[in-house]
Structure 1
Amino acid sequence: MSTAPVAAPAAGGPAGAGSLAVVSGGTRGIGRALSERLARRGHRVVALYVADEEAARATEADLGPAVRAVRADVTDAGAVAAAVADAVERYGPPRVVVNNAGVNIDKPFLRSTPEEWHTVIGTSLFGALNLTHACAPHMLDEPGGSVVNIGATTGLRPRTDGAAYCAAKAALLHLTKCLALELAPAVRVNCLIPGFTWTDEVVARFRLDDDAAREAVLRHIPQGRIASTAEIADALEFLVDSRSSYITGQKLIVDGGQFMW
């Protein structure tokens, strides 16, 4: 379903209008919804992607001139630094950074490979390190910036067939706290943890288009439904808004009550 385009922010608009937001993995699934929400808040959004050119072009076409899709592999520190430098030159310093990029390779540990570990951990953890390292120096001169790391419930509760992914997301939680300490008070850093969310990837992985498989999942969610990507974007909007100005180093779990930590 197409989304109404978001006009490019006009000069002299609301506070923060036109300021830069960078979203890794920002052209598909939850990431695309986050890019759209930030654009509707008045940001110029640079949505990083690595491979899916069709999704990148569709994101630009659907969301309009407020969102620019840029190819950059977040595991490549040089590529990330170059993409951020170009974005800063175009739009000024970032106000919001969202570390959303992630790769999940489900496989028993003893059948997984070092190459797969590097892919999974490199994207979820080193991707966040690389993007924040490139953006944070530009954010320190103007208080009020926000970094949001997109975690996973498996970073809190382990599961089978996901050792590298669980480890990467657990490390991302601790990275959130470390960066919250080091970048304070100018930049707040928090972790947004979605539960089951209706995206193409989640539907395929958990066979949610099958009634029996979906009901099996829903039995463990007190709210009795799967989240929409818009609901995850609602949580992001809160974390980057002045209403959360006293919140840093925290995790916000949006999972319908499935895991009550």
Structure 2
Amino acid sequence: MSASSQKVALVTGAARGIGLAVAKHFLADGFGVALLDIEGDLLAKSVSELGRPDSTLALPCDVADANAVAAAFAEIERRFGRLDALVNNAGVAVFAPLMETSNADWSRVLAVNLTGPFLCAKAAVPLMRNRGGGAIVNITSISGLRASTLRSAYGTSKAGLAHLTKQLAVELAEFGIRVNGVAPGPVDTAMAKAVHSPAIRADYHDAIPLNRYGLEEELAEAVFFLCSDRASYVTGQVLAVDGGFDAAGIGLPTLRGARRNG
């Protein structure tokens, strides 16, 4: 299929949450969008609800499976003939103490969160290079920038992805391909609402200068900016979209309390 003039984005982990919000943002800006997710039934439902069959493509796929990734990119080329933006959002999390993190859990988290973006980036390069460039955005995490408990696998995978972002930015610049990362802090996703108790939410609010969780749409705005021509001279960066969480040191809750009581 010959490439059309419509720009095309691929978003992985797009059946829900941040990925789906990013896909909606691309659609609203006139992109054709391939939505990829391992949860085939949920993906089909989400894509159907978008109501844009002419501009969307559902791709059930495990990003850690090299053969499945190759098949997915072949389908993108067949359907759209081009790729302008790749958002590596698919990820899994295992939150457990080191001694309760199984070898299988470690391997799976690294396979999805780090190998998956590696495989997708490799597959994207030919499609982008042939048209003079493109943009890749990797969704890392605040857990890749600062350590926390229970995240030996997850935090390490995201730190690795942050460095892979820089490696790819340096190497792919000659092809006109920019590579950046977005590191979300706590975000009000369905998953967060299910696993974050009121006490955990209160702790996060205390530790975040903006005193709230982020919204999926706020993450989508940052991702879209980095994929757009407005960020044409930005590459090799990891942008924390975290309400100031990474910037804050100790003492914030106490200082807040002093202000309230003063």
TM, length-normalised to structure 1: 0.89
Name 1:49's counterpart in structure 2: 37
Give the corresponding residue for 1:93.
82
RMSD: 1.5
Compute the displacement of 1:28 (Å): 1.0
Which deviates more from structure 2 when the two are superposed, residues 246-255 or residues 198-207?
A: 198-207
Counterpart secondary structure, 1:246? coil
Residues 26, 47 of structure 1: 8 Å contact kept: yes
1:231 to 204, 211, 218: 218
Contact map agreement 2:225 2:231 (CA 8 A) in 1: yes
Instruction: Give the CA deviation at 1:215.
Output: 2.2
Q: For the Cα contact (< 8 Å) 2:14–2:36, is it kept in 1?
A: yes
Hey, what does 2:49 align to over in structure 1?
62
Q: Give the equivalent residue in structure 2 for 1:201.
A: 191
Equivalent residues of 1:95, 1:144 under 8 A apart: yes
Q: 1:27·1:69 contact (CA, 8 Å) conserved in 2?
A: no
Equivalent residue, structure 2, for 1:22: 10
Matches of 1:101 and 1:162 in 2, distance apart?
A: 17
| Residues in 2 aligned to 1:198 and 1:18: alpha-carbon distance in whole angstroms | 32
Displacement after TM superposition at 1:142 (Å) = 2.3
- Identity of paired residues, percent? 38
- 1:144 deviates by 4.1
Aligned length: 242
Write the deviation string for residues 83-142 of structure 1: whole angstroms up to 9, x where unpaired.
101111110121000100100011111111111111111000000011111111111132
User: Which 5+ residue runs of structure 1 have no aligned equivalent?
Assistant: 1-10, 12-16
Alignment partner for residue 135 of structure 2, among 137, 146, 167?
Answer: 146
Aligned-partner SS, 2:149? coil
Task: Give the structure with higher Rg (CA).
Answer: 2
Is 1:27–1:35's contact at 8 Å kept on the other side of the alignment? no
Q: How does 1:159-198 map to 2 (within 5 A)?
A: 159-185=148-174, 186-198=176-188
Moved over 4 A (4+): none
Distance 2:223 2:111 in 1: 23
Name the amino acid aligned to 1:124.
N
* Secondary structure in structure 2 of the residue aligned to 1:133: helix
8 Å contact kept, 1:59–1:69: no
SS of residue in 1 equivalent to 2:183? strand
Contact 1:19-1:92 within 8 A present in 2 as well: no
Q: Distance in 1 between matches of 2:240 and 2:133?
A: 22
Say if 2:144 and 2:162, in contact at 8 Å, map to a contact too: yes
In 1, Cα distance between the equivalents of 2:101 and 2:229?
A: 43
Question: Please, which runs of 5 or more residues in structure 2 have no aligned partner?
Answer: 249-262
Distance 2:180 2:225 in 1: 11
**How far apart are the structure 2 equivalents of 1:150 and 1:213?**
23
Aligned to 1:75: 64
Distance (Å, rounded) in 2 between the aligned partners of 1:108 and 1:26: 29
